[in-house]
Amino acid sequence: MVKAATGLRTPPIDPALAERLHRQAGAARWDLSGEDFAAALSRSAAGRFRDPDASPREVAAYLESLHLEDLAVAEACARGRESAWEHFVTHYRPALLAAASWCAPPGSAHELADSLYADLFGLEERDGARRSLFDYFHGRSSLAGWLRAVLAQRVVDRVRETRRFDPLTETQAAVSAPDGADAPDPDRDRYLPMVRAALAAALAGLLPRDRLRLALYYTQQMKLAAVGRVLGESEATVSRKLDRTRRDIRQAVERRLRDDHALSDDRVAACFEYARTDPAFDLARALPPDGG
């Protein structure tokens, strides 16, 4: 039985299977030993199977479904293999910077990409060992997809810290009303800022994983199955959690409108009606993208 480096109980992995997957991943290219790669497989299996008595067939099927070459590169980078880092810099760093340029606020793309790059290299030490962000990559998604998701999470975390929702900024283009047109609705102009602020607070109050799930689905327009692969969830689980999060957001917005602005049920309903036609209330715009 191969033991997980994390200390978690893990289902047994057939040594012959681990050796075969090591060859299939081409891990030797990165000077990654069979023992080191088996540790990565074991860590991934420990995250997938909470029951250490999972059947060998289930474990084998799971391991064979992983992005093995990406897992080998990530593990080799985490262990400081120079050949793997050269490969990563050549093949992934340009895409990482492009993704940061897409999802980060203007002027901060390089800083965001470099901070992630530093964490991937592992500048922090714990218990005398260098800790790398690659330790959290389990091969369930592609390495490129995982990097985009991590970048997206960094963006929403920064948004939460600063309580600023730049994507909610309203377009300032004003259109003059033609003669005879209805006068602007003063209630709409008064209520919409309330709704936008309530939505921003509701999104900021979500768990980071719930915000990321929303961003992948609405902003990146990923299908449920693809979101599930990124987050390690089933398609049904993604759908159920999206429904729950949408309900939570609506309830949080309603509660804030009542508590902060003392609006009646009728006025709250009017706020939502106005918001239906306001682009800033669209979740696809209210959430940062994940880098695309």
Instruction: Assess whether pLDDT exceeds 60 at residue 173.
Output: no
Q: What's residue 171's pLDDT?
A: 32
- Please, which contacts does 202-210 make with residues 24 or more away whose CB atoms are closer than 8 Å? 202/248, 202/249, 202/252, 202/253, 202/256, 203/165, 203/249, 203/286, 203/287, 204/159, 204/160, 204/163, 204/165, 205/252, 206/245, 206/248, 206/249, 208/153, 208/156, 208/157, 208/160, 210/241, 210/245, 210/248
Per cent of the chain over pLDDT 90 is 16
User: Which one has a higher pLDDT value, 146 or 26?
Assistant: 26
238: its two tokens: 């993604």
Mean pLDDT of all residues in 16-38: 94
Q: How far apart are CA 217 and CA 116, in angstroms?
A: 23
Q: How far apart are CA 70 and CA 30, in angstroms?
A: 11
Tens digits of residue pLDDT in 81-111:
989 998 988 888 777 777 777 766 666 777 7
Span of 48-52, 107-111, 142-146, 183-187 with lowest mean pLDDT? 183-187
Q: 64 falls in which pLDDT band (50, 70, 90)?
A: very high
Phi, psi of 143 (to 5 degrees): -65, -40
Q: What's residue 124's pLDDT?
A: 57
Q: How far apart are CA 284 and CA 70, in angstroms?
A: 30
The mean pLDDT of the chain is 76
Q: 163 falls in which pLDDT band (50, 70, 90)?
A: very low
Spell out the domain ranges in the chain: 1-79, 164-286
Identify which of 173-182, 220-229, 241-250 has the greatest average pLDDT. 241-250
CATH number of 164-286: 1.10.10.10
Q: What's residue 39's pLDDT?
A: 93
35: its two tokens: 């023992």
User: Which one has a higher pLDDT value, 257 or 152?
Assistant: 257
Identify which of 107-111, 116-120, 157-161, 282-286 has the greatest average pLDDT. 116-120
Mean pLDDT of all residues in 51-74: 88
Q: What's residue 167's pLDDT?
A: 38
Q: 40 falls in which pLDDT band (50, 70, 90)?
A: very high
Span of 28-42, 154-168, 218-232, 268-282 with lowest mean pLDDT? 154-168
Q: Which of 206, 211, 87, 197 is nearest to 155 (CA)?
A: 211
Q: How far apart are CA 105 and CA 81, in angstroms?
A: 33
